[in-house]
């Protein structure tokens, strides 16, 4: 089966799309045929899925075999309201088979698929599932993107434990933006103390890709 990597985060606006694009570029530079999908996007205005369109433009550049894709292939579920999918969809049951079908269509042209989640792990999708459940349903490993501001220790460890409790193989990457020095002084010492490898999105994308590519589902 094609390698599947699910990009999740400790919250919204942490940098999932930014990280996804860097991963796609790095994997493509290694000669891999890459694909991408963002199963659900909310806050879609007039049918324009901002994240989906960015990903669509990039993937056509990186994998010419995907020139035929439309935004609906990248984002199969779009909702206008900028809210969790449970609310934005009026609690419509998620059609997981539609997502799986879109992924399988991509896999005919790809060695590796990056799947971008919406929000954090415990964002409710419908009555019966959270975003974390989608990772297992799609048989993917995960990258947890976390922030570097004060509070990142709590946020990171809570999300990491959630993944561990679900037996989801994962890596962690820190998106420090413009506060690297603050993070290095205030929070990084604790992560190093507990033996967590501190990989930063802007500095360590090659190592992050190495770790993700070698992760097994179980």
Catalytic positions, written as ranges: 38
Q: 122, 156 in Cβ contact below 8 A?
A: no
Q: Which pair of tokens denotes residue 42?
A: 């909310």
CA pair distance 138, 169, nearest whole angstrom = 13
CA pair distance 75, 38, nearest whole angstrom = 5
DSSP 40-62: EEE--BTTB-HHHHHHHHHHHHH
Among 158, 91, 110, 114, which residue's Cα sits nearest to residue 6? 114
């Amino acid at each position: 089966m094609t390698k599947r990597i699910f990009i999740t985060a400790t919250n919204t606006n942490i940098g999932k799309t930014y990280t996804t694009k860097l991963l796609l570029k790095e994997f493509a530079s290694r000669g891999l045929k890459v694909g991408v999908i963002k199963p659900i996007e909310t806050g879609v205005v007039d049918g324009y899925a901002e994240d989906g369109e960015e990903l669509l433009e990039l993937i056509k550049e990186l994998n010419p075999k995907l020139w035929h894709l439309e935004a609906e292939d990248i984002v199969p579920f779009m909702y206008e309201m900028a809210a969790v999918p449970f609310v934005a969809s009026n609690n419509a049951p998620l059609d997981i088979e539609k997502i799986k079908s879109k992924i399988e269509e991509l896999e005919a042209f790809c060695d590796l698929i990056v799947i971008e989640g919406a929000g954090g792990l415990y964002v409710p999708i419908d009555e019966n599932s959270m975003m974390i459940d989608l990772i297992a349903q799609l048989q993917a490993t995960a990258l947890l993107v976390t922030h570097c501001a004060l509070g990142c220790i709590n946020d990171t460890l809570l999300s990491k434990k959630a993944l561990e409790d679900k037996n989801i193989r994962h890596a962690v990457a820190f998106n420090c933006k413009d506060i690297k020095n603050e993070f290095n002084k205030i929070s990084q010492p604790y992560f190093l103390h507990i033996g967590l490898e501190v990989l930063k999105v802007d500095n360590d994308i090659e190592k992050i890709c190495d770790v993700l590519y070698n992760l097994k589902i179980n």
